[in-house]
A and B are shown apart, each in its own frame.
Chain A
Amino acid sequence: MVRTTVILKNRYFDSVFLMQVAQRIKAQQGISDASALLATPANRQILAAMGYAGLDGAGPGDLALALEGEPAAVAAVAAGPEAWLSRGPAAPGAPREPRSFAEAVAARPDCGVAVISVPGAHAAREARAALEAGLNVFLFSSNVAVEEERALKLEARERGLIVMGPDCGTAFLGGAGIGFANTVRRGPIGLVGSTGTGMQEFSSLVHQAGSGISNGIGTGGRDLADAVGGISTMAGIEALENDPGTKVIAVLAKPPEPAATARLLERLGRCPKPVVLCLLGADIPGAAATIDDAVGLALTAAGLPAPAGGAVDLRERAAAMAAELRPEQRHLRGLFAGGTLCYQAQAIFRKAGLAAHSNAPLRGMTALADPMASRETSFIDLGAELFVEGRPHPMIDATLRRQRLEQEGRDPSVAVVLLDFILGAMASADPVGDLLGAIASVQGARRRMGGRLWLVASVTGTDLDAQGLQAQTRALAEAGVLVLQSGARAAALCRELMLLTARKEVG
Chain B
Amino acid sequence: MAARLEQLLQGKPVFVNAGVRGFGDSLREAGYEVVYLDWSPPAGGDARMAEILDDLL
Contact = CB atoms under 8 A, between A and B. Distances in A.
A15 B32 CA distance: 24
22 contacts: A16-B20, A100-B37, A108-B16, A110-B14, A112-B13, A115-B24, A117-B19, A118-B18, A119-B19, A122-B42, A125-B50, A126-B39, A130-B16, A130-B18, A136-B4, A140-B23, A161-B5, A176-B13, A235-B2, A235-B5, A240-B9, A243-B10
B30 interface: yes
Contacts of A130: 16, 18
A173 B37 contact: no
Contacts of B26: 177, 181, 425-426
Given A112-B13, A113-B15, A115-B15, A177 B35 contact: no
B41 A61 contact: yes
B31 to A, nearest CB: 8
Contact of A114 (B2, B16, B22): B16
A10 to B, nearest CB: 5
Nearest to A15: B20
Contacts of A175: 12
Contacts, number: 171
B5 to A, nearest CB: 5
Given A12-B45, A14-B21, A113-B14, 10 more contacts: A98-B38, A118-B19, A125-B47, A130-B16, A130-B18, A135-B16, A173-B9, A174-B10, A176-B13, A238-B1
Given A134-B4, A136-B4, A161-B4, A116 B18 contact: yes
A97 interface: yes
B56 interface: no
Contacts of A16: 20-22
A243 B6 CA distance: 7
B50 to A, nearest CB: 7
Given A98-B38, A176-B13, A126 B2 contact: no
Nearest to A116: B18
Contacts of B11: 112, 174
Contact of B47 (A110, A122, A425, A426): A122
Contacts of A125: 42, 47, 50-51, 54
Contacts of B14: 108, 110-113
Given A112-B8, A122-B50, A160-B2, A140 B19 contact: yes
A229 to B, nearest CB: 15
Contacts of A380: none
Interface size class of B (residues with CB under 8 A): 35 or more
Contacts of B35: 97-98, 104, 107-108, 111
A121 interface: yes
Contacts of B10: 174, 243-245
Nearest to B27: A176
A61 B46 CA distance: 8
A96 interface: yes
B5 A162 contact: yes
A174 B24 CA distance: 16
Contacts of B37: 97-101, 104
In the A-B complex, list the 8 residue pairs whose CB atoms are closest, starting with the nearest. Answer: A117-B19, A61-B45, A425-B26, A121-B47, A97-B38, A118-B19, A14-B20, A117-B20
Nearest to A172: B9
Interface string A172-187: 0111111101010000
A344 interface: no
Contacts of A239: 2, 5-6, 9
Contact of B6 (A60, A101, A242, A425): A242
Nearest to B23: A115
B9 to A, nearest CB: 5
Contacts of A100: 37
Nearest to B29: A425
A118 B38 CA distance: 12
A149 B45 CA distance: 21
A113 B23 contact: no
A85 B50 CA distance: 25
Contacts of B54: 125
Nearest to A216: B9
A17 interface: yes
Contacts of B50: 122, 125
Contact of A113 (B2, B13, B21, B36): B13
A115 B35 CA distance: 10
A467 interface: no
A197 interface: no
B57 interface: no
A157 interface: yes
A314 interface: no
A215 interface: yes
